[in-house]
Structure 1
Amino acid sequence: MKDKKRILITGAGSGLGEGTAIGLAKLGHSVIAGVQISPQVTALRQKAIDLGIEKNLRVEKLDVTDAYDVAFAITWDIDILLSNAGIGEAGPVFEIPIDLVRRNFETNVFAGLNIAQKFIAKFINEKRKGKVVFTSSMGGLFTPAGYGIYVSTKHALEAIAEALSTELAKYNIKIQTINPGAYLTGYNETMADNPFRWLDDKKNFTKKAEMRATFDSLLNTPQGRLDPAEMIDAMIKIVPSDEGKFRNVVPQFVEDMLKDTQEKAWVATI
């Protein structure tokens, strides 16, 4: 392949991360798929063999919250980091336990920034160009009820990415965000189940039935169950490219909705 890239993807053990890793490897890029837990390593290595892409798809355990995993990852030579690992905590912001909020920020923001900083320093020290792509979300640009904590981590990533883009221009290091809509990978559905670990109709103002109805209003619609193949196809084009938009929202109807929502925010009243 003429312009083959070396790409590390975190959170590649399932969903969009796994699909993107496989898609990029099929295109001839040299991909390291970082997965959170050991069973995902075995499963994805076997999948790579079955697909005949094991030479292009290396699978490694990489829990971005594990200092030893991250230290090992920094020894790998890459051109592009796709910081995709993340977890989601949902539920009413005024009632969610604060330790769950901290955990969500620890993984999605602090761990993501930590590994990005380390690779950025490596690119600068080696005096070569590089690229970091953050998987944000449509929720990085608006806040639907019930998802406030998760999307606040993505709002933080948007700010971090924007600052990095300006700061790193002089080093020829490029920054992008990818902002998926509600694709049916199981991620959103699992996140919507999480509050029911702690919601208690006897203790909480928000009742379980009310919370479930809030989630169903998005996830049980066609717009909340999009085919992830569309997003993966977009990601395998965006990630290795030397040119492109800073922010990449897919699909188009979500981008249009976000722009409309942001415009309305200027005239919203209390």
Structure 2
Amino acid sequence: MELGLAGRRALVTGAGKGIGRSTVQALCAAGVRVVAVSRTQADLDSLVSECSGVEPVCVDLADWEATERALSSVGPVDLLVNNAGVALLQPFLEVTKEAYDMSFDVNLRAVIQVSQIVAKSMIARGVPGAIVNVSSQASQRALANHGVYCSTKGALDMLTKVMALELGPHKIRVNAVNPTVVMTLMGKANWSDPQKAKVLLDRIPLGKFAEVENVVDAILFLLSDRSGMTTGSALPVEGGFLAT
């Protein structure tokens, strides 16, 4: 299915690894000019060598002032993927202030800040746009040791709805994708224990975790005009986990 994304300009956060990196690669292949944001310069360097034309921006999105400086002159953006995120897992009774602050700074506050910068530019230019927030099935299901992570993603789903409500009149669509465990390098490392994985897999009707391309395909669909009447949604990519 032709998505018609060629010629547009996108900004992707968390672009150095995993879902973000694969999203950048897919967008470039679709003829999109991409601004890739990561806190790791080495990841950006290797990404630029793989995808010519990618514009790298190295910044830690947990730093509000540095993010403002780095993105204030990023130029016109038509598509935004808020993918950057952290997963700091602790039992509820052991949650630390540091883990709480870092999780909400990156998983929620940075989404607000980056989206404000991009959306204000879209509105000033009078152009339509699309924003996709990478959420999680953990926004809707309690998982042990995920108290802070689940909370950030639950908040992100509601933020997505509010953004859709307020930005819709400006013809800016905002949606979330909510994957299960994704087989990135991090996903494989965290869920390589068969016993640990079985507990979750037994709750997934399709009996498997998501591959990166499953999530990237959903992101590209929501960025494209093929989803032109979809906004404020949370699209599950979780093999039926939320149906159980």
Alpha-carbon distance change, 97 to 189 in structure 1, aligned in 2, over 3 angstroms: farther
CA pair 213-94 structure 1, distance change in 2 beyond 3 A: farther
Match of 1:58 among 55, 59, 75: 55
Contact 2:132-2:219 at 8 Å conserved across structures: no
**Bigger-Rg structure (1/2):** 1
- Would you say the 8 A contact 1:8–1:33 is kept in 2? yes
1:14-57 deviations in Å (ceiling 9; x for gaps): 00110011011011111111111211121111222xxxxx13x3
Greater alpha carbon shift after TM alignment, 230-239 vs 21-30: 230-239
What CA distance in whole angstroms lies between the structure 1 residues aligned with 2:174 and 2:16? Answer: 23
RMSD of aligned alpha carbons: 2.7
**2:43 is aligned with 1:30:** no
The amino acid of 1:71's aligned partner reads R
**CA 1:224 to 1:186, structure 2 compared with 1: closer, same or farther past 3 Å?**
farther
Unpaired runs of at least 5, structure 1: 49-53, 194-211, 261-270
Confirm or deny: 8 A CA contact 2:37 2:56 kept in the other structure. yes
In 1, Cα distance between equivalents of 2:122 and 2:210: 36
Give the Å deviation of 1:238: 2.5
Per the alignment, residue 70 of structure 2 pairs with: 72
Aligned equivalent of 2:149:
150
CA separation of 1:61 and 1:14: change in aligned 2, threshold 3 A: same
Shift of 1:224: 6.1
Provide the rounded CA distance (Å) in 1 between the counterparts of 2:39 and 2:201.
26
Query: Could you say which residue in structure 2 is the equivalent of 1:209?
Result: none
Contact 1:129-1:172 at 8 Å conserved across structures: yes
Pairwise mapping of residues 249-264 of structure 1 onto structure 2 (< 5 A)? Answer: 249-251=236-238, 253-254=239-240, 257-260=241-244
Question: Is residue 239 of structure 2 the alignment partner of residue 239 of structure 1?
Answer: no
Sort the Cα spacing of 1:26 and 1:13 in 2 relative to 1 into closer, same or farther, 3 A: same
Structure 1 CA distance for aligned equivalents of residues 61 and 162 of structure 2 = 22
Give the aligned length: 233
Aligned to 1:177, the other structure's residue is in SS state strand
Cα offset for 1:215? 6.8
Cα gap change, 1:89 to 1:190, in 2 (>3 Å): farther
Number of the residue aligned with 2:200 = 218
- Length-normalised TM-score, structure 2: 0.83
**CA gap 1:58/1:223 in 2 versus in 1, 3 angstroms:** farther
Partner of 1:160: 159
- Residue number in structure 2 paired with 1:227: 211
Of the structure 1 ranges 134-143 and 233-242, higher mean CA displacement relative to structure 2 is found in 233-242
Contact 2:71 2:117 (8 Å CA) reproduced: no
- Any conservation in 1 of the 2:62–2:102 contact (CA below 8 Å)? no
Of the three residues 9, 21, 35, the one matched with 2:12 is 9
In the alignment, residue 89 of structure 1 is paired with which amino acid?
L
CA 1:144–1:13 in 2, change beyond 3 Å: closer, same or farther?
A: same
Q: 1:110 Cα deviation (Å)?
A: 1.0
Unaligned runs of 5+ residues in structure 2 are: none
Deviation at residue 72 of structure 1 after TM alignment: 2.8
Residue matched to 2:103: 104
Alpha-carbon distance in structure 2 between the residues aligned to 1:40 and 1:95: 32
Paired residue type of 2:98: D
C-alpha displacement of 1:225: 4.0
CA 1:2 to 1:180, structure 2 compared with 1: closer, same or farther past 3 Å? closer
Q: Deviation string for 1:156-192 (max 9, x for gaps)? A: 1011111111122222221111111211113346668
Report SS of the residue matched to 2:60. coil
Shift of 1:106: 1.0
Identity of aligned residues (%): 22
Name the TM-score, length of structure 1 as normaliser.
0.76
Determine the C-alpha separation between the residues in 1 that align with 2:15 and 2:215.
Answer: 14
Letter in 1 for 2:212: P
One-letter code aligned to 1:250: V
User: Comparing 221-230 with 134-143, which one deviates more in the overlay?
Assistant: 221-230
